[in-house]
Amino acid sequence: MNQSEHRRFTYSKTLIVGFGFLGISIIWPIFNQFIPLFLQAGNPQFESQLLAEGRAIPDVVGFGLAPSLALFIMTWDNLINIFIQPWVGARSDRTWTRFGRRKPWILIGLPIAVVGFVLLPFAPTALALAAFILITNFGMALFRSPTVAWLGDLFLPDDRSKANGVINLMGGIGSLLAFLGGGYLFNNFGRAAPFIAGAILMIVALAVAVWRVREPRQLVADTTAAPPRSVRENLRLLAGRADRSGLYVLLGILFWFIGFNALEAALSSFAVFSLGIAPGSAAIYSASISLSFILFALPAGMLGTKFGRRGVILAGLTGLAIVLGAAFFVIQGVATFIIVLVLGGLFWALVNVNSLPLVYDFGDEGQIGAFTGLYYFSSQLAAVIGPTLGGIVVDVMGDQYRWMFPFSAVFMVLALLVILRIRAAKQDVAQA
């Protein structure tokens, strides 16, 4: 079977690959919804704000930390991931065992991640919670890049936006299960239940992917001729090209993930500490963004295939900037909160589904894992910068989480300006 035949797009194959991303996507909504609440609940500033507005104080036990410190702790894992995920991605290009190329990294990292994740709700102190966060994310960092690199391994360039639409649809289903199931379990069975259930579902989803995905023995180009390059070397390679579009793509990814990750880390805190919504109910309402993303993930990939990834990403960034900027004034209760999340999920699908294929357009077909690692270098660096800066903004603005919406909108505008500077990608030219 030749390379093109092996990499032919089919929905059945793509759904199986999507189980890997579904497993990864189950973890983060539970993590981002409840860990910030555990860190900040009991802060008297939030309680006084809720009482002043006539809202109820949600019943959740926490460590009473300030927003800046709590959101900074949420980024500790990403400081490690900045270096681990690109390195693992590059190493997985040159890995081959009887299990495959990417699968060994899943088999190593998954047990570590599960142990750390299940321990999170039982942490007796903020320091113990931070340690369990590091364990969880160290394990996740060992297999996230290799799992996502299947997009490049198994699909031709012209099919990647469409395939990534299906894969992200599966990821959206994982997020939806996490939000709805996690909220229900938290409300009815306590703080540990979402974490235990999430760990079980992650194991099942990734087991399906490991069992059913058939990895190619050889990549498109020979990856054994030279040793793997470091992140710095890969960035230097992009910087040395006459066309700097690859660097602009990574910078755009940095900006839009700063905005998205800051808001994602703060969303439950806004719902609970600003709107007075119960923690479990806040998670259920937050499922609106995942449901919207699921509905638009596949159309977003098809639009990227038909009209070009760059243009579709620009449309998504424009929509996000408008919606997030307006959200500061619009959100006054549950209904307007859900409307903003639905619109945000729609526009985020246009951006997120087409972003990794755009990296591959300016990368190297023989270094799929390495360029997947560069994608995660930008996104994980953003996951450190975004919540940290956002937490400082919330502190400065009197512990008002509402300011996270215009903060995120600013970075969507910056991303838009950067993406405007890149030339049309090979795939985009083919559509013209």
Q: Going residue by residue through the chain (432 aa), what tens digit of pLDDT does each one get?
A: 445 555 677 888 899 999 998 999 999 899 999 999 999 988 888 888 888 888 877 878 889 899 999 998 888 777 777 778 778 877 887 778 888 888 999 999 999 999 999 999 999 998 899 899 989 989 998 888 888 888 878 888 888 888 888 888 899 899 999 999 999 999 999 999 999 999 999 999 999 999 988 888 766 554 444 555 566 666 776 666 666 778 889 999 999 999 999 999 999 999 999 999 999 999 999 999 989 998 998 899 999 989 989 999 999 999 999 999 999 999 999 999 999 999 999 999 999 999 888 888 876 655 676 677 788 788 889 989 999 999 999 999 999 999 999 999 999 999 999 999 887 554 554 444
CATH assignment of the domain containing 423 = 1.20.1250.20
Residue 1 included in any domain = no
Residue 316 has what pLDDT?
97
Residue 2 included in any domain = no
Residue 6 included in any domain = no
- State the alpha helices, DSSP H only, in 67-125: 67-73, 76-93, 103-119
Residue 4 included in any domain = no
Residue 240 has what pLDDT?
64
Burial-class residue 312 by CB neighbours within 10 Å (0-12, 13-18, 19+): buried
**Quick one: tokens of 75?**
């980024």
Residue 359 included in any domain = yes
Residues 6 or more apart whose CB falls under 8 angstroms from that of 2 comprise none
Residue 4 has what pLDDT?
56
The tally of domains found in the chain comes to 1
* Containing structural domain, residue 395: 12-221+229-431
Is the CB of residue 149 less than 8 Å from the CB of residue 372?
Answer: yes
- DSSP one-letter string for 312-323: HHHHHHHHHHHH
Residue 411 included in any domain = yes
Residue 175 included in any domain = yes
**Quick one: tokens of 283?**
């998670």
Please provide the size of the chain in residues: 432
- Expressed in angstroms, the distance from the first to the final Cα of the chain is 31
Residue 366 has what pLDDT?
59
Residue 3 included in any domain = no
Nearest to 131 by CA among 145, 117, 142, 144: 117
Beta strands in 145-298 (DSSP E): none
